[in-house]
Amino acid sequence: MPRGLRPDYPVRTERLDLRPHRREDLDDLLAFHSDPDVVRYTPWPVRDREQTKATLETKLGQGEVTEPGQWLVLAVVLRETGTVIGEVLLKWASDTDRQGELGYALNAAYHGRGLAAEAAGAMLELGFEDLGLHRIVAVIVDGNDASVQLATRLGMRQEAHFVHAAFFKGEWIDDLVFALREDDWRTHRATESAPARA
């Protein structure tokens, strides 16, 4: 069983590089951390430059996980321009039960291109292949239809709907729990990569 995770960076996908955050990412991060539409369903509030700078300092040390409870937090870089367009997160929730949690946020200017799915798919691969997880969940605020669609596209299935599960940004919200097991992930990935029949 792997004892933590520190990927070889950058983690490359077709169009993206995933890597630990750097201080020079500040302006790119601010572009979506300050956007009310982007942060509507995230755990953090709308942030100004100083608040984004402060949280960036924490992210600088989250390029590896060494024990359960920690989050791997990576910048999503559009390789073509070098711009940080979002971030993806993977929590090592439990060693004994081999559980993880997926999170993501993307600059609204880059929505609708499949980039979030590309980045999140790479994180699932890190979780299952490199960290040896058995099951990864995504906890989504009810009403966040884009995230529901993304989770479904990744092969995740809704397992729970918790009513008024949290007091979130001034109101009671429902949580939707989507999950993917390692065996289903392998089947889904094989199906996605299979050539189409003539």
CATH number at residue 85: 3.40.630.30
State which residues form the domain around 38: 11-190
Indicate whether 99 pLDDT > 60.
Answer: yes
Q: Tokens 């711009």 correspond to what residue?
A: 83
Q: Tokens 């942060």 correspond to what residue?
A: 39
User: Which pTM value belongs to this model?
Assistant: 0.93
Indicate whether 22 pLDDT > 70.
Answer: yes
198 within a domain of the structure (yes/no): no
Tally of domains within the chain:
1
151 within a domain of the structure (yes/no): yes
Task: Report the chain's terminal Cα–Cα distance, integer Å.
Answer: 42
3 within a domain of the structure (yes/no): no
Q: Write the pLDDT tens digit of every residue in 109-132.
A: 999 999 999 999 999 999 999 999
Q: What percent of the chain has pLDDT over 70?
A: 96
Q: Write the pLDDT tens digit of every residue in 41-85.
A: 998 999 999 999 999 999 999 999 999 999 999 999 999 999 999
Please state at what angle helix 145-153 crosses helix 115-125, rounded to 10 degrees: 50
Give the β-pairing of 157-168 and 171-181.
antiparallel
The predicted structure's pLDDT at residue 175: 97
Question: Angle CA(163)–CA(167)–CA(173) in degrees, nearest 5?
Answer: 35
The predicted structure's pLDDT at residue 196: 47
120 within a domain of the structure (yes/no): yes
